[in-house]
Structure 1
Amino acid sequence: NAIIITELPYQVNKASLIEKIADLANNGKVEGIADLRDESDREGIRVVIELKRDTDPDKLLTKLYRLTPLQNNFGVIFLALSDGQPRQMPLRQLLQEFLAFREETLTRRYQHELEQHENRIHLVEGWLQALDNIDAVIEILRAAPDGSTAKLEFQNQFDFSDRQADAILGMPLRRLTGMERQNLENEFAELSESIQQLQTLLGDRKELLKALKKELRGLKKRFGDARRTRIIDVPSSGKKRKAKPPVNFGTVDTAPSPAAAKPSATSTDTTAPTNRQSKPRQTAPDLELTTEVVEDSPPDTVNTDGTINFAPIAEVTAHTMPAKALKLIPDEPDGTPVVVEFLANGHVRRLTPETFNADDREFGDEIITQTEDSQIGASMTVLLKTGKAYNLVIKSVPRIEIEPEGLPITQLLPPSAQNDQVISTFSLPENLDEQFVILLTEKGRIKRLPASELSELSNRGISMIKFKDEDALAFTAFADAGDQIVLATSTGRILRLEANDQLLPASNRAAAGVQAMRILKREQLVGLGVTGTVDPVLLVSAEGFAKRLTTQTIKLSQPGELGTHMFQFSSKTDTIVALTTAFPEDIVNLQTTAENQFELCVDDAPLASKEHKGERIVDLEADERIAAVYLPMLMAEG
């Protein structure tokens, strides 16, 4: 038997490796090596390790991996420029950024070629027209006292452009021959065909990607060589992995091990079981128990052959499930429809569509601010005040039967995010390439981020915006190109921007955005609305006044302006507490400082001008004020 080494890890010296293996063999740390030879030549590396009889090569190789640099781990920082900003990216995103860069480069190249061809065909077209009217052209040249007069006469009589007229004046006499005319006609036909092809490539992204693939295949054919490294998927310690094969918790062999059958030396009750397997389990084919196992973490481990090793009860401390979670509730397979409810106190829970739409369902004092139709196996996106985005796995959201009041959203996120504040939660739209996320900070900076940046969230989350001067995220919303973005401050100033590439160019996650609105002292942003030009927005004041404004009545502004004062207060102490979209028959929930709750149909607020102070929508006590306004609740479909 022999082990033959034909390649080495990055930056590993062959001579040092051979010396290390020889030292281990001589010192007795590695047994079973009979001979060690270096047979490397100009064709490649070849180190031969001859083994003694009865030596297991797999065990020896495992020991060599552990004791020598034959196997080596090293970190790689994938740092690349994206939109002019240096960013660290995972391998997949790095490749995607490269493809996006190649697509952009190809687009610019085709645009340049199209511009060159259009300029050339413009001149050729002028020459051909001059040849068609050669007698009149010669007559103008004979009669003109100078070139400027001839040029002006060409433009007046034949409608030539400046460039065409100059080209005709500079045309040599050989252009008048029949052969030159044929060459010009052939060139005109070729340019016309080329322009049509370039316009097709620039107007149809599928055709552009086909051209990109063809170019990449050509590069591969010219410069490609055999791959020397392999990318393999190896589960690492501490990472989550699926337990395979699936474990049926109702039919597990629970025979206790001899060690588990012995009584504890410190226990006085020798009849108490020291292993959970010694106690009969209730058979339940479908329990709501996760099949995800964190290696080296849980007290119970699932082996690769499907068997389960249970730890003694005395060892199960922080890893045990809450008592409520141990109810025998049937598991929900992936694809099962559910409704996710988000509450005003920051909690979240899930329930079945039947429970959600039940006529006899009783509601407590909680305010449901948002509902989402989803399914088991899906996830939602959570944006936090620090500007980070995380995945909220729907299956991790507690069922209403187990946690009637739900759990805090942050409790379902990684530990690093559990002290943060949730700004928004949403499901990603299907047309990610056409949607943008609007991010608005407390200090008035705004950013238009492609929604595709949220498509690949990791467990550690990703930062969606770079803050300046101790800023924080305040509001988020989705917007299409051309949508109207409306901002409001507590003093009643309102600013309207249009979501387009001129005013708000799309930027990457590392960008800080632009100043959308100047925030004055003793005021703050209170709302962000995304609407059409004819849609209304709702303004609510702290003293219980409200009115609606049509978006088109708000002046369209440039980023960084002050905005327009659009609310006349009844008293000097009143302020705006919220701005939100106001579609017909929407219901808005109001909460006061005295913890009273009111519902407002947006149709009850008058549609008024900027000089109008609004109408009182709720009667408040002397010291009571509107504290919060919650957006319309989205109803789930049955």
Structure 2
Amino acid sequence: MEEPNESRIITVDVSNEMRTSYLNYAMSVIVSRALPDVRDGLKPVHRRILFDMYEMGLRANTSYKKCARIVGDVLGKYHPHGDASVYDALVRLAQDFSLRYPVVNPQGNFGSIDGDPAAAMRYTEAKMSRIGEEMMFDIQKETVDFGPNYDDSLQEPTVLPASFPFLLANGSSGIAVGMATNMAPHNLQEICDAICAVIENPDITIDELMEYIKGPDFPSGAIICGMKGIKDAFTTGRGKIVMRSCYEIETHDRGHDQLVFTEIPYQVNKADLVKKIDDLRKDGAIPSISTVRDESDRKGIRIVIELKMGSEPMVTLNQLFARTALQTNFNVNSLALVDGRPRLLTLKEMLVYYIRHREEVVTRRARYDLRKAQERAHILRGLKIGLDNIDEVIRIIKESNDNTVAAEHLMGRFGLDLLQAQAIIDMKLGRLSHLETSKILEELGDLEQKIAYYQDLLSDEKKILKVVESETRAMPGSLAPKDHRLTKILREEIGQSTLEDFIKDEEVVVLISNKGFAKRIPSEEYEAHGRAGKGTRTTKLQDGDFVDHMFVASTHEYVMFVTNAGKAYYTKVFEIPEASKTAKGTSIKNILQVDTTEKITSIISFKEFSEDTYLMMATRHGVIKKVSLNNFRNAKTRGIIALNLDEGDELLQCEFVQEGDEVMLITKNGQGLRFSQSDVRAMGRASHGVRGIRLLGKDEVAGLLKVDFNKRILMVTENGQGKQVTFDSFSVHGRGTQGQKIYRIGGKASCIVGALAVNDENDVVCVTLMGQTLRIHVNHISIQGRNASGVKVVTMKSAKDCIVAIASTSGEDDDNPEDVEKAFETDSIPGVVEEIDSTPETE
């Protein structure tokens, strides 16, 4: 067997080889493919397409050529990659919904905003637009450098003259290796004004530039909400710009409202957007939507969303903006190549680099024109000498054996150089006429003026900048005379408060069933009954489901949920769909991203997040914890870990507490413990909590109340007994003790279901296992001693029925809205917590 040739084996370090090869590949992608040059704003493929179309003579005033021919020419001469990459780049340069100012004029199917692809390149045609020509203007005057193509057979420009500010006007996007760029388009008139402002005042600030460039101007229009993202993008190169669709609220002939969207955010696929909205309608996630139609045509976009009768348009809008691409973010990352290296650029830096590029182009153009003018003037001066001595010139030429000898004699006789002598020899006899002689002298005079102008121009940098400024000022009028800003800018930052102005602020009862169906009902729909009445049905229950939670809150308040797994979520009350008394409601999973294994165990409502307000939380096994409400700000609909629970324990109830407050824990077997909230230290996330009350046997906590001497403790048992007890009937004890007797259990009264703090202006609403509801005036329920067994409050229709939940609401006779609002600040059935950060405290 032949021995291997060791001279052909190269030993290398794999790690070094991988590092070197990867870096070479990364730099190739960064410099030669994915990132635009800050000067002309183009990637290599775009630059090659435009230059090839220029060489093919595809001007704005010429005929179209097949895209297949253009793509083939680009591939063969300059861009040795796949034809799909070149054609896709060509298509994007022509799409008016992708580029604010297209540089290619298309003919045929070039795709749509619905995501439809362009037709095959053999069917479509293209040529340069007027703006595309402007990118190539003066390229023949040695204004830019050229370099070899991929096989060194041709020369291609390394950058275009770009008298049109492509990067700022059209933006750019691209993903390189380890970095990406995403630059927004802007309005041409605003860009040109800003360029002139920088030329006139090199020390201009970003804030002053924003007087000229208001913000991005997207080809799809829409609305930019807030100035913060724009300011961040202009000052740092990075910023999150919030975009919203333009809409109108119309009234249908049948009397219900419909939302009509006429503009959508940049780069949003309209067909996918309409499908997403319809899917939300089918799933019941936005139950107020009746139908969705796309009525768009060549005149513009028109997405029609019909609402059901009585639906609140602004609530539906808020849900659509939160769940669909009708509101989206454009994340600006202004990364471009500066001297071949990627740099993150501010607005002013982009303007300065473009001005420098234009200054260099104008300078090189002036040098080229000066040289050409001087060369032509030199020839004309020789012709003038020849015309002044025409008879002698003719004699010398006639007497010479050939043109070479004639040129030598002319050079010797009149002091000409070879070029001048040859021009005299090549001059036609027709130019000896008096008229032609005058034209030569006139042309020479014009050239001498131009030479003086070019020399003067090149002698002063400020004059070069004046030329750049004058050409920039003339650009909008010649390229886009009827152009106007498409994207509107709202200076105010968007937020829930803006939409809440359109939502009626009213108190509602929110019901959540054991199987996770939620709805809200105006509290006015509950009629008060006398004590021991039978009540009315409040929800249609199916398959053994029953109402598990009920609370009263304002539509503008936050609602926070805690599940049996210890996760916390929040939403706004008005985002819970309103429904009738007999309706089943909407699955809570359409509102919150709750896992299928989780069950909501506690709910609380509040007006705003605050660091000075605390949540005192209690579990069924007697553990309590105090956490600042501000710790729950990040819960939202996705949820965060709220509490580390012991096995078999669950969160029961929460109360807002502040400095100086006292709270009471009440157990199912009738024990009550009053203690100061200061006995419980404030905890962070992920802590376990401390013992609140010492439980005997299988006793569990039934309620947590904040002590308020203007109110009384109302308790209802599982079999419908109830009573009121005053807070001052109990003395303050230490945390972790057994407390005092609060209810005599046994006989008529079974275990306590819940406890509320109430006064004479309150009603109490009771819900049974089978869905029966009863609203009772509090003053119809007796105030008794600590050891009493209470009175009959609810009469169940079935012996198998029992009370499962109670909540307080304002009495129907209360006409003072402020008192009503105050009554509901702490009296809903609450319960929510967060995961905490400290070591569990032991007793």
Query: What TM-score do you get using the length of structure 2 for normalisation?
Result: 0.40
CA contact (8 A) 1:64 1:70 kept: no
2:244 aligned residue: 243
Distance 1:467 1:415, change over 3 A: closer
1:318 aligned residue: 279
* Amino acid paired to 1:18: M
* Amino acid paired to 1:243: R
2:270 aligned residue: 309
CA contact (8 A) 1:340 1:350 kept: no
SS in 1 for 2:755: strand
CA contact (8 A) 1:302 1:309 kept: no
* Larger displacement relative to structure 2 (479-488 or 578-587): 578-587
Give 1:530 shift.
1.2
2:615 aligned residue: 437
CA contact (8 A) 1:437 1:477 kept: yes
1:489 alignment partner, one of 667, 675, 689: 667
Q: Deviations over 1:320-379 (max 9, x none)?
A: 4568631265624640224353344445556789x87999xxx9611794443335xx75
Distance 1:433 1:64, change over 3 A: closer
Distance 1:531 1:284, change over 3 A: same
Distance 1:304 1:580, change over 3 A: closer
CA contact (8 A) 1:518 1:561 kept: yes
| 1:476-555 alignment runs, 5 A limit | 476-500=654-678, 503-532=679-708, 535-555=711-731
CA contact (8 A) 2:553 2:573 kept: no
Give 1:477 shift.
1.7
2:239 aligned residue: 233
Cα distance in 1 for partners of 2:709, 2:606 equals 25
* Amino acid paired to 1:309: K
2:576 alignment partner, one of 368, 392, 397: 397
Cα distance in 2 for partners of 1:392, 1:520 equals 38
Give 1:426 shift.
0.8
How much identity, in percent, do the aligned residues show?
14
Give 1:446 shift.
0.8
2:178 alignment partner, one of 69, 74, 85: 69
* Larger displacement relative to structure 2 (414-423 or 574-583): 414-423
Q: Deviations over 1:12-59 (max 9, x none)?
A: x987743665897999459999779xxxxxxxxxxxx99355899869
Cα distance in 2 for partners of 1:320, 1:506 equals 44
SS in 2 for 1:448: strand
* Amino acid paired to 1:71: A
Count of residues in Structure 1 that have an aligned counterpart in Structure 2: 407
CA contact (8 A) 1:369 1:630 kept: yes
Give 1:559 shift.
2.6
2:758 aligned residue: 582
**Does residue 339 in structure 1 map to residue 506 in structure 2?**
yes
**Does residue 373 in structure 1 map to residue 551 in structure 2?**
no
* Amino acid paired to 2:509: F
CA contact (8 A) 2:507 2:554 kept: yes
Cα distance in 1 for partners of 2:802, 2:645 equals 30
2:592 alignment partner, one of 399, 413, 416: 413
Cα distance in 2 for partners of 1:393, 1:67 equals 41
CA contact (8 A) 2:594 2:638 kept: no
Distance 1:459 1:35, change over 3 A: farther
1:568 aligned residue: 744
Q: Is the radius of gyration larger for structure 1 or structure 2?
A: 2
Q: Higher relative contact order by CA 8 Å / sep ≥ 6: 1 or 2?
A: 2
Distance 1:288 1:470, change over 3 A: farther
Cα distance in 1 for partners of 2:522, 2:79 equals 66
Give 1:475 shift.
0.9
Give 1:383 shift.
3.8
CA contact (8 A) 2:674 2:731 kept: yes
2:606 aligned residue: 427
* Amino acid paired to 1:586: N
Going by fraction, where is helix more abundant, 1 or 2?
Answer: 2
* Amino acid paired to 2:238: I
Distance 1:64 1:579, change over 3 A: closer
SS in 1 for 2:289: helix
SS in 2 for 1:318: helix
Distance 1:401 1:632, change over 3 A: closer
1:471 aligned residue: 649
SS in 2 for 1:247: strand
Give 1:606 shift.
3.8
Distance 1:248 1:308, change over 3 A: farther
Give 1:534 shift.
6.8
Give 1:389 shift.
2.9
Query: What TM-score do you get using the length of structure 1 for normalisation?
Result: 0.51
Please list every run of 5 or more consecutive structure 1 residues that lacks an aligned counterpart in the other structure: 1-12, 37-48, 74-228, 236-240, 251-280, 292-300
* Amino acid paired to 2:244: A
SS in 1 for 2:607: coil
Distance 1:34 1:364, change over 3 A: farther
Q: Deviations over 1:520-572 (max 9, x none)?
A: 44332211111235743123333443333322332423232233333323439
Give 1:462 shift.
2.8
Give 1:585 shift.
4.5
Cα distance in 1 for partners of 2:803, 2:786 equals 23
Distance 1:312 1:516, change over 3 A: closer
CA contact (8 A) 2:753 2:805 kept: yes
Cα distance in 2 for partners of 1:463, 1:579 equals 27
2:484 aligned residue: none
| 1:616-627 alignment runs, 5 A limit | 616-618=792-794, 623=799, 626-627=802-803
* Amino acid paired to 1:304: P
Q: Deviations over 1:386-420 (max 9, x none)?
A: 33332323553334489966434443222547953
* Amino acid paired to 2:289: A
Cα distance in 2 for partners of 1:456, 1:466 equals 18
SS in 1 for 2:715: strand
Distance 1:531 1:325, change over 3 A: same
